Amino acid sequence: MLPEVRRSRVEALLSRHFDDLKLLVIYIDGLVFGDYSLIGTMGVDTVGNKHVLGIREGATGNSTVFT
């Protein structure tokens, strides 16, 4: 379990809106850390800046997690 400060930072990161962001590319990839599987998404904007869009725990390749 995450300490409360980290939990609030993660929640703030994952609740951001990207309405004004013009993304050209979105990467989605699964990562395995021991017994844990994470799905990460990253977007690249029109200038080439990278933005973390989301992180989610779940089985790699699982369509429910991607949706």
pTM (whole model) above 0.85: no
Task: Round to whole Å and give the CA distance between 14 and 41.
Answer: 11
58: its two tokens: 């779940």
Task: Round to whole Å and give the CA distance between 22 and 43.
Answer: 9
Q: What is the mean pLDDT of residues 3-15?
A: 81
What is the tens place of the pLDDT at every residue in 13-60?
888 888 889 999 999 888 887 777 888 899 999 999 999 888 888 765
DSSP string, 15-55: T---TT--EEEEEEEEEEETTEEEEEEEEEETTS-EEEEEE
Helix (H, G, I), strand (E, B) or coil at 62: coil
The residue that leads in pLDDT, 3 or 29, is 29
| AA letter at 18 | F
* Spans of all domains in the chain: 4-66
